Homo-oligomer: A and B are copies of this chain.
Amino acid sequence: MPELRKDPILGRWVIIAWERGVRPSDFQHVEEQRGSADTCPFCPGNEGKTPPEVYAIRNGDTKPDTSGWNIRVVPNKFPALRIEGEMGRRGIGMYDMMNGVGAHEVIIETTDHTKTLGDLPIDQVALVMNTYQVRLRDLHNDTRFRYVLIFKNEGQRAGASLSHSHSQLIATPVTPKRVKEELQGAQAHYMAKERCIFCDIIGQEVDSGARIVYDNGKFIAFCPYASRFPFEIWLMPKQHSCDFEALAKGDIPALADALHVVLDKLAKALNRPQYNYVLHTSPNRYPRRAHWATIEDDYHWHIEIMPRLTRIAGFEWGTGFYINPTPPEDAAKYLREVE
């Protein structure tokens, strides 16, 4: 019998189609086509092909926009939002609009054209996480922005237009709907229980054990109870914190370890699947709003990793209703058993 499961934060129902019981080998493998390094704007030596860098981790005294970097952050050449300008909120009849003010940056994670994030050593993953923090801190000083989205599209099927490993950042003058819903869900739980819902979830996952993929003491990775997608994984700090930015430097290696292990397990279990991940962290708290006053208490940052294994039927967009052929308990078991 298939099951309907409810996401406790968002109230979203998911169909877990037990009987389909899809194993890793049942998913069609899509070979990633990695373009040539010669023309790749993210490769060393091609720095002139991107807009000037906004941040980089560089060796010695190398100059900006030359080679000699290890991680490099540049504005997106075709930005969805523009950094200059006022917000100009206004109405057109019954409709609301504002100018597309914001930031759209690319975080180039490595100089190696051939590697994915999961292939990189843990130290390099740690530098990527550090870079996320640096950019978040900088953009949170701009009071026009309400939220800074950090996400990764690995592979063409996941929406990447360039294959050289990179993440993206979009700073927006509005809080995205899904983020707001998550904040509201977490707040409602806190109002009822005076406990963080994410901490409660971690507690139940640790007790059950059935959906855990990896736990290094500081970070836990598990397939969520109401997974939308096969092999979906959520990665969370075990210690309560609403804000990724506030993660102590000393804890970054443990985060990098957990992310590295999880991506490596996915790569081995599913033959290097294409995937997306999204960092879910606290919105910009300037101006601090009355109903976000307790966000430090009720919200808990985390990373949601979504392998792109199945075709997405359009009705999922139309309805917010997902069908997942792989129970998260099965997915977690496969992933735990990967060396």
- What is the bound-complex CA distance between A170 and B322, given in angstroms? 12
Annotate A199-232 by CB proximity to B: 1 below 8 A, 0 otherwise. Answer: 0110010011000000000000000011010000
- What is the bound-complex CA distance between A15 and B100, given in angstroms? 7
Residues of B with C-beta under 8 A to A98? 3-4
- What is the bound-complex CA distance between A4 and B158, given in angstroms? 24
Q: When A80-B17, A81-B15 are in contact, do A306 and B314 touch as well, CB less than 8 Å? A: yes
Contacts of A47-89 to chain B: CB distance below 8 A: 78-82, 85
Q: When A1-B99, A10-B177, A177-B10 are in contact, do A276 and B314 touch as well, CB less than 8 Å? A: yes
In the complex, A45 has a CB within 8 A of chain B: no
Q: When A1-B100, A94-B204 are in contact, do A308 and B314 touch as well, CB less than 8 Å? A: yes
Nearest B residue to A225 via CB reads: B95
Q: Quick check: which of A113-121, A122-130, A149-157, A255-263 contacts chain B, the rest being far away?
A: A149-157
Residues of B with C-beta under 8 A to A158? 313-314
Residues of B with C-beta under 8 A to A97? 3-6
Contacts of A159-197 to chain B: CB distance below 8 A: 159, 161, 168, 170, 172-174, 176-179, 181
Annotate A296-339 by CB proximity to B: 1 below 8 A, 0 otherwise. Answer: 00000000101010011111011111010000000000000000
In the complex, A96 has a CB within 8 A of chain B: yes
CB distance from A134 to the nearest CB of B (A): 20
Q: When A95-B225, A306-B314, A314-B306 are in contact, do A177 and B320 touch as well, CB less than 8 Å? A: yes
- The A contact surface, by secondary structure, is mixed
- Most B CB contacts (10 A, CB to CB) among A4, A15, A304, A311 go to A4
CB distance from A335 to the nearest CB of B (A): 19
In the complex, A249 has a CB within 8 A of chain B: no
A12's partner among B177, B201, B321 (CB-CB below 8 A) is B177
Residues of B with C-beta under 8 A to A95? 5-6, 8, 204, 225-226
Interface size class of A (residues with CB under 8 A): 35 or more
In the complex, A13 has a CB within 8 A of chain B: yes
A178's partner among B152, B174, B275, B320 (CB-CB below 8 A) is B320
Nearest B residue to A311 via CB reads: B159
- What is the bound-complex CA distance between A133 and B139, given in angstroms? 52
Residues of B with C-beta under 8 A to A34? none
A80 x B320 contact (CB < 8 A):
no
- What is the bound-complex CA distance between A277 and B314, given in angstroms? 7
In the complex, A278 has a CB within 8 A of chain B: yes
Please name 7 further chain A to chain B contacts, defined as beta carbons within 8 Å, in addition to the given A3-B100, A4-B174, A178-B321, sorted by A numbering: A1-B100, A4-B98, A17-B100, A95-B226, A159-B313, A276-B317, A278-B314
Can you sample 8 A-B contacts with CB below 8 Å? A2-B100, A3-B99, A4-B100, A6-B95, A15-B81, A17-B80, A157-B311, A276-B313
- Interface pairs A-B: 4 shortest CB-CB: A276-B314, A2-B100, A278-B318, A159-B313
